[in-house]
Structure 1
């Protein structure tokens, strides 16, 4: 297949399997509690284990992809995810559930890094913000599908069937990736040319920090928003339904932001303005009774920076450095996503309210615009040096 939009469709569906598998534990949490005699803290640990390998595997994951190639690395990652699901579907020992979850997460890290690099290969210099926005949108799409499908499967056939379903979907991903072809202009990198210069490395680190901090802020809504509403007397079901509005609306706002960034050629302006508005809305949410209005606004605005931010690495990475560069990018992202919720949880426990977690989210999003300015300065200086 040589159509870049066809390739993007393949990458979208394959990446969707990560979100689907991630949500599989939360979808059957009550069943797991009964089956294994564990509590919510254990379920929370099992959920969080999925992201843990990212801190140590994202950077070498880029090197692995550069060494063995796009398709072999992607297939290996999907096989690891499939194996993890099969372990969780067939074991009755909690420790093996954790081992299966870690294996799945490790595969997901390798897959995330590699798929992002592959998408950038095809769209660098042409509709990159739009493409990355569509690519990123596979996450809320995968979670939304899992919320519709997995609870019914779990209720009818048990937790094992849910994990088998996740494994079957990743196996389908293996078949799909067989149709992937690299872009014609991509040449095999040499060892010498695959080294990042210092400005490029710094730029990728800053870009990864931006993506991590923005996602930490966004995650505060899903992680602590229901608790915040429960503190106000909302039922758990009503609170969850209200918070889910953000996810459903982001399915529209994420690609819309990418399109607008490419259409008007001002990705930084769009990302900065949207980030400032989201920070304001996050700070406003714990202090207002207009909950639904604020959540709708977050959903409509919050997705706009995704495409522009995800397109940042393409500004400094060439074909020969993308695998390593995306490894650095995602190392920062996973570190932020691991630490952010943990810090927010401690602050919320100390303050006795989930509102402080939303305030922390507002601060992390507010940190993104100055970092975007710093990124732009790095790229500008690097470009001037290259011309001189």
Structure 2
């Protein structure tokens, strides 16, 4: 298979399994609280544990993929995700739930880094913002599906069935990835090595921070949104369905943002404007009863920065530095996503409401525009030095 859009479709579906698995805890958070007798702080820690391995594994993830190869690495990652889900499905001990979550997260880290590298291999210099927007769109699609499906499964069959479902989907991903083929010349490029220059490294670090902070803000919606609505008297299923509106609309707004960025050549302004609007909407959500209206607006606007942000690293990375660069990028992303839910859970416990988690999300999104400006400044300086 040598059609890059068909390859992108495979990567999209396989990456969707990560979002589906990640969201499994938040989708049935009230149910887990009843079963295990834990509160929002513990749920926040369990959510964040999924990204904890990323702090250690993201950086060497590219090297692992370069050593083992694209397909073997993705299969190994999917096997870890499946194994972690099975542990969580078969135990009623909270400590083992955490262990299973860590194993799943380790697989998710390796899979994320490798799939991003594979997608960039195929689209570097070719509609990269559009392709990356479609690629990252697998995340809201997976979350939206999980919010619709998993609460119903949990209510009917229990939390074990929820985690068994995530393991089954990961196993399906193994079959799909067998159809992947690398682009011509990718093996030669991957085999070589190069070091990131200082400004390129700094730019990738800032890009990773932007992606991490923006996702922390977005994660507050589907991680603590169901609990916020449950506090207001919504059922678990109804709360999950309402929050899924954001993710379903993101399926449209994410690729739309990538297309607009490529079409009008203004990704910087698009990302900044959208981020400011999303920050305001997140703050409004925790203070208003117009829940559906706000969720619709977030869904329509919140996906626009995804493609432009994900294409930032590609601007300073060449094939020889792509593996290490994406490892740095995702190390920052996972650090933010590990700490974000845990901090939000602690704050929610102290305040006695999940609303404070949405406020934290608004602040993290608000931090992105200044960092985007900083990234542009670094790239500008780097380009000037390269010409002199």
Q: Take 2:75 and 2:140, find their aligned partners in 1: how far apart are those partners?
A: 23
Query: Which has the larger displacement, 103-112 or 82-91?
Result: 82-91
Q: Take 2:92 and 2:345, find their aligned partners in 1: how far apart are those partners?
A: 30
Deviations 1:61-80 (A, max 9, x none): 12212232222211111121
1:39 corresponds to? 38
Deviations 1:24-74 (A, max 9, x none): 34455577667x654345555433322221122111212212232222211
List runs of 5+ in structure 1 lacking aligned partners.
none
Contact 1:133-1:255 within 8 A present in 2 as well: yes
Give, in angstroms, the shift of residue 21 of structure 1. 2.0
Query: Which has the larger displacement, 233-242 or 106-115?
Result: 233-242
1:335 corresponds to? 335
Q: Take 1:280 and 1:162, find their aligned partners in 2: how far apart are those partners?
A: 33
- Is residue 2:78 matched to residue 1:83? no
2:299 corresponds to? 299
Q: Take 1:20 and 1:288, find their aligned partners in 2: how far apart are those partners?
A: 28
- After superposition, the Cα gap between the structure-2 partners of 1:283 and 1:95, relative to the gap in structure 1 and judged at 3 Å, is closer
Contact 2:14-2:176 within 8 A present in 1 as well: yes
2:119 corresponds to? 119
Contact 1:188-1:320 within 8 A present in 2 as well: no
- Number of residue pairs matched by the alignment: 386
Contact 2:283-2:362 within 8 A present in 1 as well: yes
Give, in angstroms, the shift of residue 146 of structure 1. 2.6
Q: Root-mean-square deviation (CA), in Å?
A: 2.7
- Is residue 2:204 matched to residue 1:170? no
- After superposition, the Cα gap between the structure-2 partners of 1:88 and 1:197, relative to the gap in structure 1 and judged at 3 Å, is same
2:234 corresponds to? 235
The 3-state SS of whatever aligns with 2:186 is coil
Q: Take 1:170 and 1:91, find their aligned partners in 2: how far apart are those partners?
A: 19
The 3-state SS of whatever aligns with 2:320 is coil
1:140 corresponds to? 140
- After superposition, the Cα gap between the structure-2 partners of 1:25 and 1:286, relative to the gap in structure 1 and judged at 3 Å, is closer
Query: Which has the larger displacement, 188-197 or 8-17?
Result: 188-197
Give, in angstroms, the shift of residue 250 of structure 1. 1.3
- After superposition, the Cα gap between the structure-2 partners of 1:97 and 1:9, relative to the gap in structure 1 and judged at 3 Å, is same
Contact 1:16-1:139 within 8 A present in 2 as well: yes
Give, in angstroms, the shift of residue 117 of structure 1. 0.9
Q: Take 2:100 and 2:277, find their aligned partners in 1: how far apart are those partners?
A: 40
Give, in angstroms, the shift of residue 142 of structure 1. 1.5
- Is residue 2:22 matched to residue 1:22? yes
Contact 2:44-2:345 within 8 A present in 1 as well: no
Contact 1:268-1:308 within 8 A present in 2 as well: yes
Normalising to structure 1: TM-score of the pair? 0.89
Query: Which has the larger displacement, 247-256 or 178-187?
Result: 178-187
Residues 355-370 of structure 1: pairs in structure 2 closer than 5 A: 355-370=355-370
- After superposition, the Cα gap between the structure-2 partners of 1:236 and 1:159, relative to the gap in structure 1 and judged at 3 Å, is closer
Query: Which has the larger displacement, 141-150 or 365-374?
Result: 141-150
Give, in angstroms, the shift of residue 170 of structure 1. 1.6
Query: Which has the larger displacement, 11-20 or 280-289?
Result: 280-289
List runs of 5+ in structure 2 lacking aligned partners.
none
1:99 corresponds to? 99
Contact 1:66-1:324 within 8 A present in 2 as well: no
Give, in angstroms, the shift of residue 222 of structure 1. 2.9
Q: Take 2:336 and 2:45, find their aligned partners in 1: how far apart are those partners?
A: 17
2:377 corresponds to? 377
Contact 1:187-1:319 within 8 A present in 2 as well: no
- Is residue 2:277 matched to residue 1:267? no
Q: Take 1:156 and 1:282, find their aligned partners in 2: how far apart are those partners?
A: 32
Residues 56-75 of structure 1: pairs in structure 2 closer than 5 A: 56-75=56-75
Query: Which has the larger displacement, 215-224 or 137-146?
Result: 215-224
Residues 210-229 of structure 1: pairs in structure 2 closer than 5 A: 210-226=210-226, 228=228
Give, in angstroms, the shift of residue 245 of structure 1. 2.4
Contact 1:261-1:267 within 8 A present in 2 as well: yes
The 3-state SS of whatever aligns with 1:107 is helix
- After superposition, the Cα gap between the structure-2 partners of 1:239 and 1:172, relative to the gap in structure 1 and judged at 3 Å, is closer
2:322 corresponds to? 322
- After superposition, the Cα gap between the structure-2 partners of 1:111 and 1:296, relative to the gap in structure 1 and judged at 3 Å, is same
